[in-house]
Chain A
Amino acid sequence: MEHLDDEAVTRAGTHEGRAALPEAARAHLDTCVLCEQRVLGTERLASVLREEEPDPAVPSFDTFIAPHLTPERAPEPAPAPAPEPEPVPVPAPRVTAGRAAHLALAVTWRQVRLVPPVLSSAVVAGFAVLALALALVPSRPAEPYVEAVTVGLVTIAGVVACDPRRDPRREAFHAMLVPPLAVWFARLVLVLGAVLVLAVAVSALAGAVPGGRPFPELVGSWLPPSLLGAALTVFGTVWRSPAVGLVLGGVSWAMALAVFRWNTATGVFGAVAAPLWADLTASVTVAALVFAGAAWLVTRPGRSVG
């Protein structure tokens, strides 16, 4: 092994001692007279220096530095006064079950007056014309017409029900007993429910016409695309704007046509789209999820488009 370098000699000859050296260096020191002499010299030098200049007592940070910093420190904030809450919470007016039911009816009835009359006229007129056509021309298949009218009216109704001008999500309404979600839900059930009930009535009429398709099959043809279309339209309107709602509703309708009428839904696309727009269970499930997403958006005070 080579001789110890200066740093190792200094370590061995001062406070740290020979034990601080690595094992190989210690073994070398035991056999090398030259290095031993160098370490002994360093030990003697250190000893003399210690006698002349004892080790300085280094004061702690707290005793030496901190007192000089104290004047520069920000004053300690005064302890905040203990909160003094209301001794007993102020009682909020209670709503009994009877009053809640009365209120729910009143709120729902109010939606009848808040929805523009032109929507009611359009819905009634649309189904009346359809019923008339079915009665006058019974030989033609009713299915495409019932589906087209229902999906179209449901899309329009979804947009109108969430129209920003009648938006129940305005900030002031979020601080009221009846939350915007309840008002929105009441309006949606009223408007979409009316359209679907009329569609069922027209389907019953079409089913009763001699040679017509059976009523359950007829309902099964328009109900899945109507539910999905309504859900997507409502979600788009609540999320962004009526225009977005109409686009999503239109896309849904096009998908329904691709699946049922044009038979263009093939391959992987068809495998996904066909059950979604044709199967009642799948469409109800997806529509429920989309409606739930729209409902969540309605509960957000900052998302009002009104």
Chain B
Amino acid sequence: MRITAREVRYRYRGTTALAGVDLHVHGGVFGLLGPNGAGKTTLLRLITGLLRPRGGPLLVGGHDMGTIGGRRAVRRLVGYLPEDPGLYAHLTVRKNLDHAALLKGDPHARSRNRRAGQVMDRLDLTAHARTRAGELSVGGRQRAGLAQALIGGPPLLVLDEPTSALDPVHRHRFRELLRDLARDTTVVLSTHVLDDVARVCDRVGLLDAGTVAFTGTAAQLARAAPDGQDLEQGYAALLGHAPAPDQNSRPEP
């Protein structure tokens, strides 16, 4: 699924969140980077149809997100994991997933049960099927939220900082899962974890103060660094911050 944004703007009361975003996502895994308050979450909310864009057009899968019909159509095509996974703490993981499958339009209990089982297998959640969501660790909740987004096999997956609370093992598995999904799913991944970007993302967009400061590959982003290799320093350089000196590479006195 392609996403095309041109001069997309959005304002909250008195605050400009997006000041004219131009973006083109062809498919695969697209990493969305940027400092806090850059407008990443707002852009994700526009892509998922939660908010109506100003300016534009913003086309998601060919649907105009400026129209009610476009937003409604995209809601049937998207799996969304916001920062708060939105699980009901008093329900078990399986019941939460069953509920998500129901809200995604599956009225048949048996089919929902099967789907829930599939995504739990995929995300190592089967052992926690009967655990209440409120009793899960933060990382467990994040995986359950991801399972909720994946249920129904949406062709577009929008993930807002999905790995921030994962341990290294689950982060590694998550990356493998994303690479696997990217074969037939477009993934938009907002993250601060540059390691994820380097390993998973086909293309990267860097948002700064509501505009796109850079789009390209992770390697191209790294080339913006003084040494032309370090992704973190390239990120800082593009945002106009002096890269911090590398403590480990400081010469011995």
Chain A residues close to B by CB (< 8 Å)? 80-81, 83-90, 92-93, 95, 99, 102-103, 105-107, 110, 114, 165-166, 170-179, 183, 301, 306
Contact = CB atoms under 8 A, between A and B. Distances in A.
Contact of B1 (A86, A99, A174): A86
Contacts of A84: 2, 4, 24
A172 B84 CA distance: 8
A244 B201 CA distance: 46
B102 interface: yes
A165 B89 contact: yes
10 contacts: A83-B57, A86-B61, A89-B61, A89-B73, A105-B107, A171-B50, A172-B81, A175-B79, A175-B158, A301-B51
Interface string B53-75: 00001010111000000001111
B77 A92 contact: yes
A172 B89 contact: no
Given A83-B6, A175-B48, 18 more contacts: A89-B62, A90-B63, A93-B105, A102-B107, A103-B105, A103-B107, A106-B107, A107-B103, A110-B99, A110-B102, A114-B88, A165-B89, A166-B88, A172-B145, A175-B49, A176-B75, A177-B103, A177-B104
Report the interface size class on chain B: 35 or more
Contact of A176 (B1, B82, B100): B100
A199 B153 CA distance: 45
A81 B24 contact: yes
Contacts of B149: 172
Interface string B1-28: 1101010000000000000001010000
A280 B247 CA distance: 76
A2 to B, nearest CB: 61
Nearest to A83: B4
Nearest to A82: B6
Contact of A173 (B4, B22, B63, B86): B86
A178 B104 CA distance: 6
A175 B74 CA distance: 8
Contact of B73 (A92, A173, A179): A92
Given A175-B49, A175-B78, A177-B104, A83 B24 contact: yes
Contact of A172 (B4, B59, B148, B155): B148
Nearest to B145: A172
A80 B215 CA distance: 13
Interface in B92-142: 99-100, 102-105, 107, 109
